[in-house]
Amino acid sequence: MCKDPRNDQELVSEFLRGNEDTLQELIVRHERKIFTSIYLLVKDRDLANDIFQETFIKVIKTLRSGNYNEEGKFLSWVLRISHNLVIDHFRSLKRMPMVYDTDEYSVFDTLPLEDTNIEDKMIADQIQTTVRALIEQLPYDQREVVIMRHFANMSFKEIADATGVSINTSLGRMRYALINLRKLIQEKQLVLSM
């Protein structure tokens, strides 16, 4: 499958001109980072899917209302929305599942899959699952920095500003996250090779 050469901003502009297909390209491009960042915070796949949907519905509404002014930073913007929704969830401590009729609208059912052989995919899946489980064991503040730096591509300065701590604190949290991950791997005697 050919990668769409247009950047995020061009896709957003196309979407606003009425080309709905570009939304699918934006989702396919970023869904793994967005979904994983939500999942690692809430640790529940169903809830993560609910918040993922809620995030994009907010994205669509904001784009159409003309209030989007984050040129070149689409992913960071979406991740901020999802992060705020996760915080809202923790504040309310009650689930509000979103239900849509998907059977009637299955035209988008086929999303691209990576072309890898089954054995490689199984190994990769196993590593993914193990690493994710290790990240889930990190304290919340360390997980948060990992997500912001790795998935949102935020700098440590931006993370510090967003979380209201000093840059040294966010650097320290990342360092402890990395050290703890290595420790967990050693404790569980895991062999993770890519």
Positions touching other proteins (CB under 8 A) are: 17-20, 23-24, 27, 31-36, 39-40, 45, 48-49, 52-53, 56-57, 60, 64, 98, 100-102, 104-106, 108-109, 111, 124, 127-128, 131-132, 134-135, 146, 149-150, 155-156, 168, 171-172, 174-175, 177-179, 181-182, 185, 192, 194
What ranges in the chain are assigned the alpha helix state H? 8-16, 21-42, 45-65, 74-92, 118-136, 140-150, 156-163, 167-187
Q: Rank residues 131 and 165 by Cβ distance to other proteins and give the closer one.
A: 131
Closest contact distance (angstroms) between CB of 97 and other proteins is 11
Closest contact distance (angstroms) between CB of 194 and other proteins is 6
CA dihedral (131, 135, 93, 164) in degrees, to 10, reads -150
- Type of residue numbered 104: E
Q: Rank residues 27 and 80 by Cβ distance to other proteins and give the closer one.
A: 27
- End-to-end CA, the chain: 24
Closest contact distance (angstroms) between CB of 80 and other proteins is 18
Q: How far apart are CA 168 and CA 106, in angstroms?
A: 48
Closest contact distance (angstroms) between CB of 49 and other proteins is 4
Q: How far apart are CA 150 and CA 33, in angstroms?
A: 9
